[in-house]
Amino acid sequence: MKFRDPSNPMWIQALKMLEQADQLHKHFFQLVKPKPSGPVWEPPADILETDRQFLILIALPGVDPSGVTVVIDENALHIVGERPLMISRDTVIRRLEIPYGRFEKRISLPAGNYKMTENVLMNGCLRLVLNKLG
């Protein structure tokens, strides 16, 4: 059996794993349209809803809370900030898998009024709670 034989089960499994890895990467680290200021990345988020509120969790490892802006505007939640690449001149980069630089996340909300009751960035995760009003 040849190594690159398409009927080789190991080759088929390897191709499936590569395809899955590519899909995961696209799902979690989608680049959004670049702005004139340069490219941005979009952090992954979990969005949970109850009858009274939304709970939104956004993965932001290594991000300073003071550099994150969260705004509710026209039935959308906008999160903007930056994850700096903190390296010295004598550092050799061996691998960069976690995105860095400017990020933006826009989350559409159903029509209605919302009040943000929690906005906490802790342990690399931004936790937002939006109460539904009226």
pLDDT in tens, 95-134: 989 899 999 999 999 999 999 999 999 999 999 999 999 7
In whole angstroms, what is the distance from residue 117 CA to residue 120 CA? Answer: 10
Q: How many CB atoms lie within 10 A of CB 32?
A: 13
State both tokens at 125: 């995760």
In whole angstroms, what is the distance from residue 73 CA to residue 76 CA? Answer: 5
What pLDDT score does 45 carry?
97
- This model's pTM is above 0.85: no
What pLDDT score does 15 carry?
75
In whole angstroms, what is the distance from residue 11 CA to residue 3 CA? Answer: 7
- Please say whether the beta carbons of 117 and 126 come within 8 A: no
Give the whole-number percent of the chain exceeding pLDDT 90: 57
In whole angstroms, what is the distance from residue 32 CA to residue 103 CA? Answer: 9
